[in-house]
Amino acid sequence: MQTEFLFAGFGGQGVMFAGQVLAYAAMDNGKQVTWIPSYGPEMRGGTANCTVVIADEEIGSPLVNHPPAILVMNLPSLEKYEPLVKPGGVLVVNASMVDREVQRKDITWVSLPCNEMAEEAGDKRMANIVALGALLELLPAQTLKDIEVALKAHMPGRHKHLLPKNVEAMKRGAEYAKKHARKAK
């Protein structure tokens, strides 16, 4: 089995880190993994996205055209990637930075206030982890415990003190998605 993900937003929103943590969790669990980052030409605040492919067997290509799971942290990313979600797939939207609802009816989606939820969990920089928790609630390619273990193992030393807050942020995102996701019709 193979599952593909796309994480997108502005530089500085942590989309690369969210993708890396998912990739590390899968890799630590013996899965085959690719993680491919892509940056826009801007120096700061430009576009940033990454793809993650998780598979039980060797991955033939790391390219992702219509992933079953996309996480977007801002409006330009929603505009660009909403049409690419595979029918029946999952879309997670940071409502703190997006002022419209998802238009697609053939996907499961949740729009949650990631920035505010991250602040409530203890640090506004964890909006990406809130969104990751929501994504994994809707498409459980890895468990929240797997992500917690990966955070503990791979988080830079200078950020280790934030581990409990990251776990709390992730759980808040998952709980929100469980209650508020809109299922595909």
What residue ranges do the domains of the chain occupy? 2-180
Q: Where are the alpha helices (DSSP H) in the chain?
A: 15-28, 75-81, 114-121, 127-138, 144-154, 163-180
Q: In what order do the strands lie in the sheet with 69-72?
A: 32-39, 47-55, 2-10, 69-72, 90-94, 108-112
Contact 164, 123 (CB under 8 A): no
User: Where residue 121 falls among pLDDT bands split at 50, 70, 90?
Assistant: very high
Q: What is the pLDDT of residues 5-52, one digit of tens each?
A: 999 999 889 999 999 999 999 999 999 999 999 987 665 667 899 999
CATH number given to 2-180? 3.40.920.10
Contacts with 47 (C-beta within 8 Å, 6 or more apart), sequence order: 8, 9, 10, 11, 39, 40, 76, 77
In whole angstroms, give the CA distance from residue 64 to residue 126: 26
Closest CA to 155 of 168, 145, 166: 166
Q: pTM score, two decimals? A: 0.93
